[in-house]
Amino acid sequence: MVLLEYEAKDTVIHRLNPIAKAVWFACCTILSTLYLEPQPLIILAAQIAMIGYLSKVPWSKLISRAWWAYIGSLLGGYTVSLWITSPEQLWRIPPEYGCKVLLEVTPKGTPIIGYTAITYAGLLWGTTVTMKIALAVTAACILTYTTPISDIVSILGRILPYKASFIVMTGVRFYPVLLERIQGIVDAARSRGWESSYRNPVKKVRSLYTIVFPSIREAILLSERMSLSIESRAFGVKKPTPIKTLALDRSDILFITFISSFTGLLAYMWSVYGFGML
């Protein structure tokens, strides 16, 4: 889903070829999956922040759109970290340090849940997972903010069947559109005195009818307009011709070289020296 829509700006990142930005996003994804400790992710976070700064990303808007992903990563990461309690889960950190229990949550033999505790390794792991998801979401927002959806579709069309890429990007593109329509429905309902702050769960569910049914209607109308637009352009008759070629210039090659070297160096440190292994 697109949390931050594309805005046409004259920045060095906006001017880059979409392939170069796709390579950057792929490198960020690779690095964020490698590490189980937060230290190397700080380096990746600095790189993503630099790209965002060069892109002139509206950080306040990004946070307002993606706050639920950040909160979800925080809760999910530290919840799963409660099960990081045994030496077999550690590679580099000494077990006597990593498995040191700071607070026992559930004792051994607890049904279904099992033994859970807050440990040093668990805190490191929870922090890492939180940072991984937050950095991946931020990188995705920067990519969609600096790259038109049509260019992303063109790239996916070279990897996936064009119908599959169209379906994927249609769902991604119309998430913020539907979100804005729903927000408009909520604002209109509030202007007529609607509220949902009931303590009674039955009344609270009933109050949502005012929002749910108009939102479903908007989603159906949006899908109907999309289907009519697709049919009027004879989509599916044959493979569409790309509107523009995605040729790389010198700046794109330099950017890809820098990002690939940066990623290769960190991956080498991970594989040879255990940099980032828990």
The whole-number pLDDT of residue 236 equals 67
Q: Residue 266 burial (CB < 10 Å; 0-12/13-18/19+)?
A: buried
Q: Any residues with CB less than 8 A from the CB of 66 and at least 6 apart, and which?
A: 3, 4, 137, 138, 141
H/E segment holding residue 46? helix 38-55
Mean pLDDT of the chain: 82
| Residue with more model confidence, 197 or 122 | 122
CA–CA dist 255, 257 (Å, integer)? 5
Angle at 8 between CA 23 and CA 184, to 5 degrees: 110
Average pLDDT of 88-95?
Answer: 73
- In the block, residue with structure tokens 């509107």: 243
List % helix, strand, coil for the chain (3-state, nearest 5): 70, 5, 30
Nearest to 22 by CA among 187, 220, 157: 157
Lowest mean pLDDT among 174-178, 252-256, 262-266: 174-178
Q: What does the pLDDT look like over 39-74, one tens digit per residue?
A: 888 888 999 999 999 999 999 888 888 888 889 888
Q: How confident is the model at residue 7 (pLDDT cuts 50, 70, 90)?
A: confident
CA–CA dist 156, 165 (Å, integer)? 6
Q: What does the pLDDT look like over 133-153, one tens digit per residue?
A: 899 889 988 998 998 877 877
- In the block, residue with structure tokens 């995605």: 246
The whole-number pLDDT of residue 211 equals 82
Q: How confident is the model at residue 2 (pLDDT cuts 50, 70, 90)?
A: low
The whole-number pLDDT of residue 254 equals 92
DSSP type of residue 57:
-
Q: How confident is the model at residue 86 (pLDDT cuts 50, 70, 90)?
A: confident
CA–CA dist 40, 30 (Å, integer)? 13
CB atoms within 10 A of CB 99: 20
- Angle formed by the axes of helices 59-80 and 120-146, nearest 10°: 150
The whole-number pLDDT of residue 209 equals 78
Nearest to 119 by CA among 143, 141, 95: 95
Highest mean pLDDT among 57-61, 152-156, 196-200, 237-241: 57-61
Q: Residue 148 burial (CB < 10 Å; 0-12/13-18/19+)?
A: middle
Res. 28: pLDDT tops 80: yes
Res. 247: pLDDT tops 80: no
Check: CB of residue 25 under 8 Å from CB of residue 143: yes
86: β partners? none
Q: How confident is the model at residue 107 (pLDDT cuts 50, 70, 90)?
A: confident
